[in-house]
């Protein structure tokens, strides 16, 4: 580990990496990068590189772990052994277990958990390269992966941290600021402006605390904007194709209506095909329906009570 820098902020008010105190590191994200996952996101934030994958909702085994009235969200944050300079011992440790717990809780206010009783949603956040702020990077990626998986949510979740160096508050800590600074204050905000996670390492005065919350909020709003744009980029093209289909169908219908009624009825195939195609597309990208959970595993035969709930073709 490098030594503590003498100064974190220079005479021009710039940080060691050239950023302003309220400036975030560049972020980029890509959706749908893991084909076997129901939703996924690769996110880079400065030198952080994180992959998030979501599986589910699917039936939870063993059954005794199922929640009768809601879905169980499981969240696993993991730093790859090669993600830092000195190799980390693989497997869970106190830090990763704590981060997994608080990150899972950050999503509980937004995921419509009551829609999938007895099911589980697994969220895996793998840190491939770490450079401070990995828990917030992982939450931002996981939020996108959940949206990519079509999990019904009230909105997205965004996360960032504020810290204190040289007596000044700084947004989105770099490694030196994180390791040697006076405070590290990660927060998450939902799209509704609710706070769903706060952690605190170090000390703030009351005034600094209020200011830090505002800085985090602004940072999270910027991230939410980027997340929404990434989602639009992935889905808007496909949706606009649907819109074109719908327009064509409407034109066909208008033409058919203006013609003789019998003639109009004589050409239903083309319209039906278009309807079916656009319907398929819509189903591909729509939220998973609440009453049709996409369980992957077979329904055990010795438990007939659940067979009532699910259509036969899904359990085959
Ligand atoms: P966060 O990554 O969320 O800021 P921490 O404040 O605990 O979490 O860690 C800050 C940074 O310190 C990490 O991003 C990583 O670069 C580094 N770090 C954390 N744990 C270890 C570890 N066990 N070995 C080496 N570096 C680590």
Q: Which residue has the higher pLDDT, 260 or 193?
A: 193
312 CB within 6 A, ligand 1: no
- Tell me the pLDDT tens digit for each residue of 60-101: 999 999 999 999 999 999 999 999 999 999 999 999 999 999
214 or 281, which is more confident: 214
**Which ligand 1 atom is nearest residue 132's CA?**
14
SS3 280: helix
- Is 135's C-beta closer than 6 angstroms to any atom of ligand 1? yes
Whole-Å CA distances, 147 to 3, 251, 308:
41, 33, 30
Mean pLDDT of 193-211: 96
pTM of the model: 0.78
Task: Output the pLDDT for position 258.
Answer: 46
pLDDT at 106: 98
Q: What is the pLDDT of residue 1?
A: 59
Atom number, ligand 1, closest to the C-alpha of residue 137: 3
- Ligand 1 centroid to Cα of residue 214, in Å, is 24
Q: Is the pLDDT of residue 246 over 80?
A: no
Model pLDDT, residue 310: 45
Query: Residue of the nearest CA to atom 24 in ligand 1?
Result: 88
Full set of structural domains in the chain with CATH: 27-234 (3.30.230.70)
Pick the more confident residue, 283 or 144: 144
> Over the chain, what is the mean pLDDT?
83
Q: What is the pLDDT of residue 250?
A: 46
pLDDT at 124: 98
CA atoms within 13 A on the CB side of 182: 13
How many A from CA of 80 to the centre of ligand 1?
12
Nearest CA residue ID for atom 5, ligand 1: 132
For residue 94, count other CB atoms closer than 10 A to its CB: 7
Centre a 10 Å sphere on the Cβ of residue 19 and count the other Cβ atoms it contains. Answer: 18
Q: Is the peptide bond before 183 cis (omega within 30 degrees of 0)?
A: no
Atom of ligand 1 nearest to the CA of 130: 16
Least confidently predicted of 55-69, 158-172, 178-192, 281-295: 281-295
Instruction: Give yes or no for residue 44 having a pLDDT over 80.
Output: yes
pLDDT for res 2: 73
Q: Which two tokens stand for residue 236?
A: 């808007």
Residue 308 has pLDDT above 70, yes or no: no
Alpha-carbon gap, residue 34 to 181, rounded angstroms: 36
Using a 6 Å cutoff on CB, does residue 208 contact ligand 1?
A: no
- Residues 270-294 have pLDDT tens digits of 434 443 444 444 333 333 333 444 4
């Amino acid at each position: 580990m490098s030594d503590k820098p003498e100064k974190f902020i220079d005479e021009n008010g710039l940080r060691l990496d050239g950023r302003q105190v309220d400036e975030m590191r560049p972020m980029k994200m890509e959706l749908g990068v893991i084909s076997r996952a129901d939703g996924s996101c690769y996110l880079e934030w400065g030198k952080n590189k994180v992959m998030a994958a979501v599986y589910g909702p699917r039936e939870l085994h063993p059954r005794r772990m199922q929640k009768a009235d809601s879905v169980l969200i499981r969240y696993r944050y993991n730093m790859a052994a090669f993600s830092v300079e000195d190799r980390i011992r693989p497997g869970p440790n106190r830090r990763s277990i704590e981060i997994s717990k608080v990150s899972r809780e950050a999503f509980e206010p937004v995921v419509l958990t009551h829609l999938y009783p007895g099911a589980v949603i697994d969220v895996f956040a793998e840190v491939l390269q770490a450079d401070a702020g990995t828990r917030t990077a992982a939450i931002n990626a996981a939020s996108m992966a959940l949206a990519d998986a079509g999990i019904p949510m009230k909105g997205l979740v965004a996360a960032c941290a504020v810290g204190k160096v040289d007596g000044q508050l700084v947004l989105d800590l770099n490694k030196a600021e994180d390791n040697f600074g006076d405070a590290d204050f990660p927060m998450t905000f939902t799209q509704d402006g609710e706070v769903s996670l706060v952690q605190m390492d170090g000390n703030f005065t009351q005034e600094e605390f209020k200011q830090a919350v505002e800085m985090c909020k602004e940072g999270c709003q910027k991230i939410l904007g980027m997340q929404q744009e990434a989602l639009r980029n992935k889905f808007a093209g496909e949706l606009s194709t649907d819109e074109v289909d719908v327009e064509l169908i409407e034109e066909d219908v208008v033409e058919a209506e203006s013609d003789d009624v019998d003639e109009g009825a004589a050409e239903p195939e083309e319209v039906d095909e278009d309807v079916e195609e656009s319907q398929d597309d819509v189903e591909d990208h729509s939220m998973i329906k609440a009453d049709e959970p996409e369980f992957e595993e077979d329904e055990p035969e010795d438990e007939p009570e659940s067979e009532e709930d699910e259509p036969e073709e899904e359990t085959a």
